[in-house]
């Protein structure tokens, strides 16, 4: 009996010690960027330019989706500790911009707009995928608040060809050249720019009218609970009438990518030159939530960011670099 008690005590101390070590390691990681992509990268042979090229988060579950260049989409249910490939071979290539992975703010659904590889859509957190019949797409948006079947995108190296699908990528219709930024509320109400103010279409891209002289910086407008959000150097632009009119949400903030949403429309995050900015009062005030990782920027090509509001964690990825995690 004494021997058994001694063994139990030793095991108990070991368990407590392990738990303490895990707590210490997490504490040490806080407010530092650490790589989470070594596992998938070491088990595959990433294509050009190496390593990873895209990251997104399901804001309801905290699940992380990461692109390994030419090696598909990988999912982590434990904040990047472990990953498994989940795209069933339907996703390839890489993300060239921070707007190539469009995750539904309500969770579960994700569209991957890929270049030099297959594009695909999931509506069940990566369990099943529907491949798009067209790929080589720079970036795009989905009408999450409407059908989740209409996508808008710009074709890669095409002179700005705008393209639209209303059947989740099975057929696509090109809508003309010269476009540089895009957005979608539903299959009829589209927004876009040709490098200047915001254009609005109420007929699926057949005709366009100027809706605002304001100039977004983000490649893609994001929609959440019926409203449209588009980042700019003035702040976050918002439209509550399907793109017909636009105003600045709250106060000014230098926004280049995002926004990323929590469940509360007043609580969101954007990325600017100084890092991740957070508001909990619909833009009335903004605070720095996290710095940019070393050697990361906010240029159109390359950087890719995500936010897990559930775990209070930020993620960063860029073509040819590791995917990184930052615990606040």
Burial 7-29 (b: 16+ CB within 10 A, else e): eeeeeeeeeeeeeeeeeeeeeee
Cα gap 3→56, rounded to integer Å: 51
Residue 326 resides in a domain: no
Confidence of residue 27 (pLDDT cuts 50, 70, 90): low
Residue 231 resides in a domain: yes
Report the Cα–Cα distance between both ends of the chain, in Å, rounded: 47
Residue 214 resides in a domain: yes
Please give the average per-residue pLDDT across 142-149, as a whole number: 96
pLDDT at residue 24 is higher than 70: no
Q: What is the CATH number of the domain that holds 180?
A: 2.130.10.10
Which residues are bridge partners to 228 per DSSP?
223, 239
Helix (H, G, I), strand (E, B) or coil at 206: coil
pLDDT at 18: 40
Q: What is the pLDDT of residues 150-202, one digit of tens each?
A: 999 999 999 999 999 999 999 999 999 999 999 999 999 999 999 889 999 99
Q: What is the pLDDT of residues 4-17, one digit of tens each?
A: 444 444 444 444 44
259, 180 in Cβ contact below 8 A? no
* Structure token pair of residue 55: 């990251």
Residue 318 resides in a domain: no
Residue 69 resides in a domain: yes
Q: What is the pLDDT of residues 266-306, one digit of tens each?
A: 999 999 999 999 999 999 999 999 999 999 999 989 999 99
pLDDT at 28: 62
Instruction: Please state whether the peptide bond connecting residue 49 to the residue before it is cis, i.e. omega within 30 degrees of 0.
Output: yes
**HEC assignment per residue over 71-94:** CCEEEECCCCCCCEECCCCCCCCE
Is the model's pTM score more than 0.85? Answer: yes
Cα gap 153→168, rounded to integer Å: 12
The alpha carbon of 307 is separated from its chain's Cα centroid by a whole number of angstroms, namely 8
Residue 25 resides in a domain: no
What single DSSP character describes residue 291?
P
Q: Name the residue among 30, 28, 20 with its Cα closest to residue 313.
A: 30
Task: Please give the tally of structural domains in the chain.
Answer: 1
User: For the chain, what is the largest distance between any 2 Cα atoms, rounded to a whole number of angstroms?
Assistant: 85
The residue to which tokens 């339907």 are assigned: 90
Residue 324 resides in a domain: no
- Which structural domain, as residue segments, surrounds residue 298? 34-311
Q: Which helix (H) or strand (E) holds 144?
A: none
Cα gap 66→159, rounded to integer Å: 28
pLDDT at 26: 61
pLDDT at 29: 77
The average confidence (pLDDT) of the chain is: 92
Residue 319 resides in a domain: no
């Amino acid at each position: 009996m004494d021997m058994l008690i001694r063994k139990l005590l030793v095991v108990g101390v070991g368990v407590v010690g392990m738990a303490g070590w895990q707590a210490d390691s997490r504490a040490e990681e806080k407010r530092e960027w650490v790589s989470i992509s070594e596992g998938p990268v070491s088990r595959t042979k990433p294509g050009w330019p190496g390593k990873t090229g895209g990251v997104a988060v399901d804001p309801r579950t905290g699940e992380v989706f990461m692109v390994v260049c030419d090696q598909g989409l990988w999912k982590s249910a434990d904040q990047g500790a472990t990953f498994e490939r989940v795209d069933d071979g339907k996703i390839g290539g890489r993300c060239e911009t921070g707007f190539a992975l469009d995750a539904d703010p309500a969770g579960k659904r994700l569209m991957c707009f890929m270049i030099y590889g297959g594009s695909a859509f999931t509506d069940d957190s990566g369990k099943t995928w529907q491949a798009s019949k067209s790929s080589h797409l720079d970036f795009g948006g989905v009408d999450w608040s409407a059908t989740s079947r209409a996508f808008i995108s710009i074709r890669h190296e095409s002179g700005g060809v705008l393209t639209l699908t209303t059947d989740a990528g099975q057929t696509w219709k090109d809508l003309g050249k010269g476009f540089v930024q895009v957005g979608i509320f539903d299959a009829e109400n589209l927004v876009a720019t040709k490098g200047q103010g915001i254009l609005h279409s109420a007929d699926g891209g057949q005709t366009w009218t100027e809706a605002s002289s304001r100039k977004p910086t983000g490649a893609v407008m994001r929609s959440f609970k019926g409203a449209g959000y588009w980042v700019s150097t003035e702040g976050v632009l918002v439209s509550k009438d399907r793109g017909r009119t636009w105003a600045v949400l709250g106060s000014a903030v230098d926004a280049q990518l995002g926004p990323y949403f929590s469940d509360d429309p007043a609580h969101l995050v954007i990325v600017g030159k100084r890092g991740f900015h957070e508001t909990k009062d619909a833009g009335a005030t903004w605070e720095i939530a996290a710095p940019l990782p070393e050697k990361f920027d906010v240029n159109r090509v390359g950087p890719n960011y995500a936010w897990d509001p559930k775990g209070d964690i930020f993620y960063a990825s860029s073509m040819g670099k590791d995917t990184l995690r930052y615990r606040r």
